[in-house]
Structure 1
Amino acid sequence: MDFSYSDEQRQLADSLRRFTDERYPIDARRKALRAPDGFSRDAWRAYAEFGLLGLTISSEHGGFDGNATDTFAVQFEAGRALLCEPLIPCAVMAAGLIQLAGTDAQRQAHLTAIAEGREIVALAYQEQDSRYDFARPSTVARTDGDSFVLDGRKVHVWHGEAAHTLIVSAWNASAEALSLFIVPASAAGVSVRAYPMLDGERAAEITLQAVRVPRSAMLGDGARGEAMLEAALERGIAALCASSAGAMGRLIEMTGEYLLTRKQFGQALARFQALRHRVADMLVQKELALSMAHLAASAIDVADATERRRMISSAKLIVGRAARFVGEQAVQLHGGMGVTAELAVGDYFKYLTASSLRLGDADYHADVLASLPMDPGTRALVA
Structure 2
Amino acid sequence: MDFAYTEEQRMLADSLRRLVQDEWGFATRRARATQVAMDARAWAQLAELGVLGLNISAEYGGFGEPPASLLPVHLELGRGLVSEPVIPSAVMSAALLVACADVAVRQRWLPALATGQVIMTVAYQEPGRRYETDPSLCRLTSAGDTGLQLSGTKHLVWHGAAAHAWLVSVRDADNEPVLLRVPADSKRVTVVDTPTLDRARCARLDFDRTPLASDAIVARGERARDGLAMALQWGVAALCAHAAGAMERLLEITIDYLKTRRQFGQPLAAFQVLQHRLADMLVAKEMGLSMAYVAAAALSEPDEGRRSRMLASAKLEAARAGRFVAQSAVQLHGGMGMTDELEVGDYFKRLTMVDQLLGDSAEQLAVLETLAALE
TM-score, scaled relative to structure 1: 0.95
Distance 2:42 2:294 in 1: 29
Distance 2:79 2:345 in 1: 14
1:224/1:2 Cα in 2 relative to 1: closer, same or farther (>3 Å)? closer
Q: CA deviation at 1:105?
A: 2.1
Query: What is the match of residue 163 of structure 1?
Result: 163
8 A contact 2:177–2:220 mirrored in 1: no
The alignment partner of 1:149 has SS state of strand
Q: Supply the RMSD in Å over aligned alpha carbons.
A: 1.4
Query: What is the match of residue 15 of structure 1?
Result: 15
Query: What is the match of residue 220 of structure 1?
Result: 219
Matched residue type, 2:123? A
Distance 1:67 1:4 in 2: 13
8 A contact 2:318–2:354 mirrored in 1: no
Distance 2:135 2:189 in 1: 21
8 A contact 1:177–1:223 mirrored in 2: no
8 A contact 1:149–1:210 mirrored in 2: yes
Equivalences for 1:260-299 in 2 at 5 Å? 260-299=259-298
Matched residue type, 2:120? V
Distance 1:213 1:58 in 2: 29
Equivalences for 1:168-183 in 2 at 5 Å? 168-174=168-174, 176-183=175-182
Equivalences for 1:178-197 in 2 at 5 Å? 178-197=177-196
Residue 28 (structure 2) pairs with residue 28 (structure 1): yes
Distance 1:142 1:41 in 2: 36
Q: Deviations over 1:195-216 (max 9, x none)?
A: 1001110100001111122232
Q: CA deviation at 1:172?
A: 2.1
**Which consecutive unaligned segments of at least 5 residues does structure 2 have?**
none
Query: What is the match of residue 242 of structure 1?
Result: 241
Distance 1:72 1:123 in 2: 22
Matched residue type, 2:25? P
The alignment partner of 2:162 has SS state of coil
Equivalences for 1:1-383 in 2 at 5 Å? 2-37=2-37, 39-144=38-143, 145-174=145-174, 176-373=175-372
8 A contact 2:255–2:269 mirrored in 1: yes
**Which consecutive unaligned segments of at least 5 residues does structure 1 have?**
377-383
4+ residue runs over 3 A deviation: 373-376
8 A contact 1:177–1:225 mirrored in 2: no
Q: CA deviation at 1:6?
A: 1.0
Equivalenced residues, count: 374
8 A contact 2:176–2:220 mirrored in 1: no
Matched residue type, 1:3? F
Distance 1:190 1:67 in 2: 37
Distance 2:136 2:110 in 1: 26
Distance 1:154 1:188 in 2: 16
